[in-house]
Structure 1
Amino acid sequence: MVVLTGGSSGIGRAAARAFAARGDKLVLAARGLTDLQKVAADCGGDVVVVPTDVSVRTQVDDLARVALDGFGRIDVWADTAAVMAYGRFEDLPPYVFDKVIATDLLGPANVARAALRVFRAQGHGTLILCSSLVGHVTAPSMSAYATAKWGLRALARTLRQETRDAPDIHVCQLVPGSVDTPIYTSAANYAGVVGRPPPPVDSAERLGAAVVRLADRPRRKLSVGAANRIVEFGFYGLPPVYDALVGPLMYRLGLSRRPAPADTGNVFASTPRSDGGPARNGRTAVGAAAAGALALGAAAALALRRGLRVR
């Protein structure tokens, strides 16, 4: 039996379809009832939907009770709920920054608290927390999201340490790179232009399949993204080079040229789902991304080979 928070769009929606296709019992949760009902209809069968804001602890606790009352146990709880905000840190209204943290960090904490309580009582269970490549590196105009995802990485590792006494309880972390989901266009925006997923971009279905894979074969971390390892290598291997390149690459590839007025997006309330990201990068941009990633990795490798220590 699977609980999916963030199940109304993107990775969560794809994971719901993948679990349903093989006959798993599902409880789907997200803030928007209409989109939840659409996903449930896509899944077919006996799918329970529970409108839930993961940033509200009592709602998450109620969700756990609904799942237990209906099915008697929770085998897997996957949390993919997230919101995003674009803009320089000083340009983000404090209340927007705080709400992103509440959803993307305190939300998973609420989920983990409820799930682990159930798992401890029944003696088993798998918790899957959806992080991000931006939980391992940083990028300008994404301060709130990065702060939350870095905190989530610390939480996941701590939970793994604290559940070492329970070998049948697993805490997994999914680390996507760029994914074709609505999170970019529905984000709060104080950058002046619409955000977009920088290439290379994976499909939500590929990440949904990764969630199912973790449910079947739990592991500490599953990174999905062709450029993930190269970007992380550059970030940790040669920080000055990374910091010099990430700004121009972000503004070229992670932000479109389409103007956007200052807006809170879906940070405070759900918005109708769209089925993909904004205008995609063309071949020239994809080539620039590949060249930038390779330059970053090569510079870091050279520095490490020479034994350089960069602080």
Structure 2
Amino acid sequence: MSSRVVVVTGASSGIGRAAARAFAARGDRLVLAARSEDGLRQTDGDALIVPADVTRRDDLERVRRAAVERFGRIDVWVDTAAVMAYGKFEDVPAEVFDRVVTTDLLGPANVARTALRQFRDQGHGTLILVGSLLAHVAVPYMSSYITSKWGARGLARVLRQETRDNKHIHVCSVAPGSVDTPIYTSAANYAGFVGRPPPPVDTADRVAARIVRQADRPKPEVSVGATNRLIEFGFHALPALYDALVTPLMRHGGLSRQEIAHHDGNVFAPKPRVEGGPGRWGRARIGVAAVAVTLVGGAAANRLLSRKNPG
């Protein structure tokens, strides 16, 4: 294995932290960036640490410059930075909605602009943007996050088109489903109940392994999640059934029964996070989720059969 120079933005927790550690285990040289310097040092104290906010272009330029000054190049840049807000669209304060979109959509744009400029200068590089299943489907109570992720997915597609002139520059995406990370409890919340990842829930390490594989063998986009494709199919092929099921499923699966007062979470500033989010499920709620997935899958199968046998 050859050692690469890897920048990870959003490396202070969750998928970013897991990805940084996976690259370090491979022997790559790391440059880690996020708003929380303490969180970055907990991720990997031996890495080059550059506190930065992806919403600030000057911060990202400092990250790029520090990496090149220390290592001479950047081979891979992974962006996992994200914040989230729960609540009906009209209940989420406008400034919170705007800040989520700024971080989760304009943030990746800022990262891409900085990374691609470096890749053009050196003639190669791989940009990996970590998106979400929610860039492919919609669910209630997460309007700002979904708006951002849909936009970021479109941006990634455009960037792949615009870098076709250099076969050594790659723009890749990773789309996880539910992942057990602190983002759910750190999110701004105007829904009244603490958020959590609906089942089935993957580990951050599993997503990190796919990110490393993207760096090894770049593909346009990979999906991580056992039911991602089924959910996407239901969203596109059975919209009426999907919309009838998604709100009650979100209430019972995406929101816990733990009440919480309205707050802006870590949207505007970093706050301490606890690794290992609320991805714990009892048998009853797993059963509800299994029934819902079975209904969607059965309806999808019936629709496919009716298409094959129209008579």
Q: TM-score range by the shorter chain?
A: over 0.9
Instruction: Determine if the alignment matches structure 1 residue 13 to structure 2 residue 47.
Output: no
Q: Aligned equivalents of 2:283 and 2:34: distance in 1?
A: 35
What's the CA shift for 1:279? Answer: 5.8
- Distance in 1 between the 2:120 and 2:290 partners? 45
Cα separation, 2, equivalents of 1:284 and 1:124: 50
1:114 is aligned to 114
Amino acid of the structure 1 residue aligned with 2:210: A
Tell me how far apart the structure 2 counterparts of residues 307 and 278 of structure 1 sit (CA, whole Å). Answer: 41
- The amino acid across from 1:81 in the alignment is A
User: Quick one: distance in 1 between partners of 2:292 and 2:222?
Assistant: 24
Q: Is the 8 A contact 2:201 2:279 kept in 1?
A: no
Structure 1 length-normalised TM? 0.95
The AA in structure 1 aligned to 2:70 is G
CA contact (8 A) 1:194 1:256 kept: yes
2: CA distance, partners of 1:110 / 1:91: 29
The change in CA–CA distance for 1:240 and 1:134 in structure 2 (over 3 A counts) is same
Contact 2:197-2:279 at 8 Å conserved across structures = no
Q: Which amino acid aligns with 1:107?
A: G
- 1:61 corresponds in structure 2 to 61
Alpha-carbon distance in 1 for matches of 2:302, 2:237: 9
Distance in 1 between residues matched to 2:151 and 2:293, nearest whole Å: 25
C-alpha contact (below 8 Å) 1:237/1:301 kept by paired residues:
no
User: Separation in 2 of the partners of 1:142 and 1:294?
Assistant: 24
- Match for 2:36: what amino acid? G
CA distance in 2, matches of 1:301, 1:268: 45
C-alpha deviation, 1:299, in angstroms? 1.4
1:306 maps to what in 2?
Answer: 306
CA distance in 1, matches of 2:248, 2:66: 47
Alignment correspondent of 2:136:
136
Local SS of the residue matching 2:44: helix
- The count of corresponding residues between Structure 1 and Structure 2 is 304
Specify the alignment match of 1:127 in structure 2.
127
Alignment of 1:1-311 (within 5 A): 1-41=5-45, 45=46, 47-278=47-278, 280-307=280-307
Moved over 6 A (4+): none
Give aligned-pair identity as a percent. 62
The two structures, once aligned, show a CA RMSD in angstroms of 1.2
* Structure 1, unaligned runs of 5 or more: none
Q: Distance in 1 between matches of 2:188 and 2:206?
A: 26
Corresponding letter in the other structure for 1:204:
A
Where do 5+ consecutive residues of structure 2 fail to align?
none
Give TM-score scaled by structure 2 length: 0.95
Q: Distance in 2 between matches of 1:275 and 1:60?
A: 25
Equivalent position amino acid for 2:65 in 1: R
Give me the whole-angstrom Cα distance separating, in 2, the residues matched to 1:57 and 1:101: 16
Deviation per residue, 1:238-287 (Å, 9 max, x gap): 10100000001000111000011100000001111201112622122112
Measured in 2, the distance between the counterparts of 1:231 and 1:114 equals 34
- How many Å separate the matches in 2 of 1:27 and 1:95? 31
Q: What displacement does 1:301 show?
A: 3.4
SS in 1 for 2:60: helix
